[in-house]
Chain A
Amino acid sequence: MTGAGGAPTLAEICVVACAEAWRGDGAIVASPMGVIPTLGARLAQLTFEPDLLLTDGEATLLRPAASGGAGERVAEGWLPFREVFTMLAAGKRHVMMGAAQIDQFGNQNISCIGDWARPKAQLLGVRGAPGNTVNHPVSYWVARHSRRVFVDQVDMASGVGYDRAKWLSGRTAGFHELRRVVTNLAVLDFGGPDHSMRLRSVHPGVSVSAVAEATGFLLASPYQVPRTRLPTAAELTLIRTHLDPEARRDEELA
């Protein structure tokens, strides 16, 4: 176990950057995929975004217990898959998914690599990405920021990016929102020209050119790129002592 008091690790900086994606969301379902996004959502719920709804990964909604340690939780509701679909169609959800590939406008691929008819590598399938991206806010977590992931064009658009969302009609157009992309190098959003991907902050010790080098398309960037905010002492204690005493967060970046 990492003792509280040491300097923040990269994993801890990423946990906080993921948590920040849900800031301001209020009482909606946060659906994180992966260890670091899950820790981020739980940290947000424990600190600045207490109204977030979070499941146990199955069908039970859990929230922090009124007494006991900060990691203790109590059941507050039921959310089986059929109700997840209803909540997502109602727009009351913000998911953070992974991405095997993502392009400049946020088209995301988790389905397969290569020609869909006979893929070089079959991955998960599109899962809920097509529906998520046209119904409610979506963010992405990429543990290894590289040109293999940040590509010019994705092989199978599972999640819908801004260039394709241009053609959505009626209310659907307003429901499409890609919020953040958090990686092991940086935090990005879609504030570039025509909603293209933009560098929002770089993690400590990472240069802007290192991010550009690991990205397979031209990344919009402000003149001065801020540094990703560091975890506070209170956040570090929550992560290290209560949420992840076994340091599973480090495995995801290994």
Chain B
Amino acid sequence: MTIAEVIGELRSGMTIGIGGWGSRRKPMALVRALAASDVTDLEIVSYGGPDVGLLIAAGKVRRVVTGFVSLDSIPLEPHFRHARQRASIELTELDEGMLHWGLLAAAHRLPFLPMRAGLGSDVMRVNPELRTIRSPYADGEEFVAVPARRLDAALIHMNRADARGNGQYLGPDPYFDNLFCLAAARAYMSCERLVPTAELLTSGPPQSLLINRAMVAGVAETPNGAHFTSCVPDYGRDEEFQALYARSAASPEDWSKFAAEFLSGSEADYQAAVAGFAASHADAAEAVEEVRP
């Protein structure tokens, strides 16, 4: 599939899950295209990073379901922060593990799964729809009944995939991308590189094949498509660019400038602008080197 074909499957009002974690292995090429589309009024379920921030900045988000929104090396996501402080988005704030449990319940087609996380905390106060359940066994203990987090669609990004929808992560952490896919009615996977099926195991062991073709409805090749989040071992987080993103979010004027420079065109335009930014940054770094004794 092309990026446009994936976005063409999404509708306003949908609940969309996004894989990765914080500012790590996010399907940013798909997120950028979604931000530039006509689709709106979305409920976003995510271990939140700049995916949530970009969609909020583009006015696409009605509600965020998350345990945090962070850029990792920059702890607070600026767009999420502004939106919360203006109360311009709704929030379902969960413990990180509760989000995992909600996705697992949805993947298993269960209405809920019992859990200790949440008991005694204000997560129960700010989510009055959450219920507790008593164990039917002799212990009689009370747990949070974490509701299934069913998704209309999921977007994930892998290092490698084949055209049939088998996906491979080569970094240290699978995050929860397979659960996002199984919790969703339809899941779409972008990847750094599309390879013949026979080549998948030349890059990593069988257990790196986290995604199988029963989990996904379509695959799109998006080189550097997780930028500026990390996609190790293909590339790390682009810290300079992330810092620019965060700085630009500080004022509407700076954000307009950032959006005009990087977000006004196609994914190819974005990648060209990023290459230009990297080159000018490298020049600046070299200039600094030269003045050092």
Residues of A whose CB lies within 8 Å of any CB of B are 58-60, 78, 80-82, 85, 88-89, 111-112, 116-131, 133-135, 156-160, 164-165, 167-172, 175-176
26 A–B pairs (Cβ distance < 8 Å), ordered by A: A59-B172, A59-B173, A78-B172, A80-B173, A80-B174, A81-B21, A88-B97, A111-B122, A112-B84, A118-B84, A120-B85, A122-B76, A123-B76, A124-B68, A126-B67, A126-B93, A128-B117, A130-B117, A130-B119, A131-B97, A131-B116, A134-B120, A134-B121, A158-B122, A172-B119, A175-B116
CB atoms of B116 and A172 under 8 A apart: yes
Give, as a whole number of angstroms, the nearest-CB distance from A62 to chain B.
12
Give, as a whole number of angstroms, the nearest-CB distance from B80 to chain A.
7
| Most chain A CB neighbours (cut-off 10 Å) among B117, B140, B175 | B117
**3 smallest beta-carbon distances between A and B, as pairs:** A131-B117, A170-B141, A125-B68
| Most chain A CB neighbours (cut-off 10 Å) among B67, B80, B86, B119 | B119
Give, as a whole number of angstroms, the nearest-CB distance from B144 to chain A.
9
CB atoms of A117 and B97 under 8 A apart: no
CA distance A167 to B120 in the complex (A): 7
CB atoms of B122 and A116 under 8 A apart: yes
B118 within 8 A of A: yes
CB atoms of B76 and A131 under 8 A apart: no
CB atoms of B122 and A131 under 8 A apart: no
A80/B93 contact (C-beta < 8 A), A85-B100, A112-B84 known: no
A135/B117 contact (C-beta < 8 A), A122-B76, A130-B123, A156-B126 known: yes
Task: Given A130-B121, A164-B121, output 7 extra A-B contacts at Cβ < 8 Å.
Answer: A82-B100, A116-B93, A120-B85, A124-B76, A131-B96, A134-B116, A160-B119
Q: From B47, which residue of chain A is reached at the shortest CB distance?
A: A81
